[in-house]
Structure 1
Amino acid sequence: MLVNIPATNKITILIVDDHKLIRDTWSFILNSDPRFQVIAETDSGKTAIELAENNHPDIILMDINMSPMNGFDATKEIRKISPDSRIIGVSMHSQPAYAKKMLQVGAMGYITKNSSKEEMIGAISEVAQGNKYICHEVKTILSEQILEDTEKPDINLLSQREVEIIDLIKQGQSSKEIALELSITLKTVEVHRHNILKKLNLKNTAALVNFINTAGIA
């Protein structure tokens, strides 16, 4: 643990991480920048709470993977006793769920240990100005998840007639049999099948059958 007298014209920083090499590296990088001053560092969530209460740092770099008190719990407590301290979650995890949870408990930012030195400094600068910051790695994964979700077939796009046809396809009926079952022309069935594939963004009947089976339709 290192505690210095804060410089009033600098952004004061508390580093919380259970790896000494990381704490030493971050301290060296940040203290080399005239905008920042690392005023304390610790490997303990409990000690981090005490340091935050006594020193009220501007920024806290908080490792979320610590024991016995993890970064989520430490963040909750620090928000109560030093509300002006802005916390940036730091983790090896790039899944958006971790970033979301950290922000929910009061953090203002989230970076991973894959983030560059420049990104860490950028995150500190943004959060110090009152802005929220999520690192590029997490944003990229989140964007991919959103795209995957939007590309998934949506059964709600289908008309009632199209749903009926899907049900008959599931039963193994051919287009001719479906036409007889629904008292419509073969051409109408083929048009419906084409529209079903288009609406569900599926390439062929095999993909449709697979979708029907995996989605548990009808």
Structure 2
Amino acid sequence: MNKIVIIDDHQLFLYGLKLTLENENNVVTTFDNPIKALAEIKNIQPDLILMDLYMPEMNGLSMIEALTEADIASPVVILSACEDYLDVHYALQKGAMGFIPKSYAPTDMLNALQTVFTGDIFVPENVLLEIESIASLEEQNKKTFHLSERQIQILQLIYAGKKNREIADELCISKDTVKFHQKGLYTALEVSGSSSRLKAVEKALSIGLLKV
């Protein structure tokens, strides 16, 4: 018997999935609001968290980050109708243990969950091929523009709207070090001027280094 939390803003889906999992002798708690779920999950201490990627109050990527910050170590599996596999790629990078399409039959979903319960990551083979292609393109862009991992991190934080002091605090580096990496980032992306931050983000979006 496993304790499972489901987070999804569609009530009908929540109800059906809850019944399916309870029929397999699991204890299931459902939330239609990720913020409410975040406040209560630590007390539940689930063996697994199933959640959608796209929810009004907080998207799945932000939810994974929030769970990590809250020191909640329960494995997360994305259960979504999402066909933007770049989002799935990012979810896995942030620590998700798998992706299950909502189109899966109940038996296939249960088998996929069993894979995760044994400690392995589950991703359908066709989705895995897409993700590998995305990762390859990302790596190619990094090499083309000679960007370091630190520069990519700073670029992502700039895109998130963080100021230099906030970036420095998040990465545990000095503000001067942030500026040093920014200079190299802007040079690599061939942007300059007072709007370098905006230009860098726009260029990164256009070449696939960042996602809208």
Q: Deviations over 1:157-188 (max 9, x none)?
A: xxxxxxxxxxxxxxxxxxxxxxxxxxxxxxxx
From 121, 124, 140, the equivalent of 1:132 is 121
Q: Secondary structure at the residue paired with 2:57?
A: coil
Report which stretch shifted further, 15-24 or 47-56.
47-56
Q: Secondary structure at the residue paired with 2:119?
A: coil
From the CA coordinates, give the structure whose radius of gyration is larger. 1
Equivalent residue number for residue 59 of structure 1: 48
For 2:104 and 2:125, how far apart are their aligned partners in 1?
8
Q: Secondary structure at the residue paired with 2:110?
A: helix
Equivalent residue number for residue 108 of structure 2: 119
Which consecutive aligned stretches of 4+ in structure 1 deviate over 6 angstroms post-superposition? none
- Residue 21 of structure 2 aligns to which amino acid in structure 1? L
For 1:101 and 1:30, how far apart are their aligned partners in 2?
27
Which runs of 5 or more structure 1 residues have no equivalent in the other structure?
Answer: 1-9, 150-218
TM-score by length of 1: 0.56
Equivalent residue number for residue 96 of structure 2: 107
From 29, 33, 37, the equivalent of 2:27 is 37
TM-score by length of 2: 0.58
Count residues in correspondence.
135
1:17–1:42 CA contact under 8 A, matched in 2: yes
Shift of 1:96: 2.6
2:53–2:82 CA contact under 8 A, matched in 1: no
For 1:64 and 1:107, how far apart are their aligned partners in 2?
11
2:77–2:98 CA contact under 8 A, matched in 1: yes
For 1:86 and 1:119, how far apart are their aligned partners in 2?
19
Q: Deviations over 1:61-120 (max 9, x none)?
A: 111110121111111111232433010012211333121111112211111111221222
2:7–2:30 CA contact under 8 A, matched in 1: yes
**Cα-Cα RMSD:** 2.1
Q: Does 1:88 align with 2:61?
A: no
Q: Deviations over 1:40-81 (max 9, x none)?
A: 111111112112111110101111110121111111111232
For 2:31 and 2:12, how far apart are their aligned partners in 1?
12
For 1:138 and 1:23, how far apart are their aligned partners in 2?
24
Which runs of 5 or more structure 2 residues have no equivalent in the other structure?
Answer: 138-212
Q: Give the percent of matched residue pairs that are identical in Structure 1 and Structure 2.
A: 27
